[in-house]
Chain A
Amino acid sequence: MAVVTILYLLFLVAPMALLLVGSFGQSWSNTLLPTGFTGRWYVEVATDPSFRRAFVTSLQVVGLTCLLNVLIGLPLAYAIQSAARNGVRIAARLLTLLPIAVPDLVLAFGFILAFSSDTLPWLGSFWLLVAGHVVLTLPYTVNTLAADMQQLRLAEFEQAAATLGAPFAARFRDIVLPMVATSLLSAMLTVAALSIGEFQLSNLIAGFLSRTYPVVLLQAFYGATGLACAATVVLLVLAVTASVLSSATARLARSA
């Protein structure tokens, strides 16, 4: 058990530690560790126009992906959990699980085939990229929210509110939204973490001007090692922050 744990941590933590060390190293070639200490790689990442553009693109994609997840995922999860018949619930769950079962690569090839035609010539557009991210993350949102709604016994609280005279709109505003707020926030932070690190699909369908941060990052590894390390650390910090916040709020949602 201990051996497994140590090996696991070694393979998980060691590369990240090396990235961190590398990002501050002056030069790093054919030695185990880099030599010299510098912060200039971070300055270069921050000032590089293609990194800057990709960073902004990524933030836009993440923001819109989250927004669309709320607008589509919340009503969908609500509809699934309030569906009276169990069959409907199971069918909806399976449908939303499909994008998880299908490899990203397959989805990307599908996108390329479908959207490079004359009728749907959207390949390489910013909005198609957002759509791709939504397709990949929506199942997560729907499943998390539907499960949380069930665990919160939302249906029963809604019934109670109905007997007290609250019509649907009032119930949604006063009961559903406040009760799922924390769960929704936690789901969106996870979606942000997934979206910010997404590479496979983005790499294949992003246009030259709408490349996301991870896609540009790959190019950086053909150049100076220190620059690549620094750029990766930036991504790592963003993704880890979102994940940590997500699990912290998820715990809050469950204890509420």
Chain B
Amino acid sequence: MNSTSWKEPSIAAIVAILAASVPLVFDAYWLSVSVTAMMYIALSTSWALFSGPTHYISLATGAFFGIGGYLVGTGMSDYNLSFWLMAAIAPIVATILAALIGLATLRLSGVYFVIFTLGLAEMIRNLVSWIQNNFLGSRGLYVLTDFTESHIYWMLLIIACCVYLLGWLVNRSRLGFALRIIGNDESVAKHVGINTAMSKVILFMTTGFFAALVGAVIAPRYTYIEPNQVFSPELSFLVVIMALLGGAGRLWGPLVGVIPFTLIWEFVSIQAPNSTTLFLGLVFLLIVYVLPHGFVGRIDQINKKLKERSH
């Protein structure tokens, strides 16, 4: 193993330690912004584990995230179960669901896959709302815990670190290499002996697992949970946009997209609460026209030019 392969995880470890001190330094407002940012870092990074190399754009993040939040809500509110138990069950349920969805849909390619995942998220949202309204009697659920914002922030940070570590391990494995080949040419992938369906399903399950875990951990922050709120389609889009803004080609790409986006999003939400969708659209145009490979792609391009010039 050479020194460069350890450079990235070492930097990541330092960043993680700095990030861990955020609740000790920031005031309540900035801590709240940091929780949001950390949530999106975990979600976008895990989204990019699957969608980065394969180029399959999934809009199902909201569905898995919702399962996490909803199961914690219903478990604690309706069945008096502990937060920890529900936070452990939710990701498993989401992983099983992701496996089923994966097996059924990963044959779809391109825009069909995108539309399917969007439709699926909506279907789950409506199904859960319907069950909730018709059989469980109450519309909302209470998630009451002793957690402070700092606790939630640290839990999210740990999840984000796990996602990063897992991504680093996957990138160095046969599975990671297989996904890069699939993203290049699925037909070649099959003919060199890669079980393409299995590889994709495993990564899709991983994404589902982490999205549900994040959804479960963030649930205490909302206190009161409604299916329509946790199964938000907007969340799915935000995760995709942030990951693409940073660049899904690198493990740290989503991170550099999430931070500026969350700050500007926060600013826009306060200054012009009715223009958030407009802002979302503008960022999307920016990605398509100016940053097709995100900040990461631009940085790589600049590095390459500098190298050429020095030769």
Q: Are these two chains actual partners, yes or no? A: no
Interface residues of A (CB under 8 A from B): none
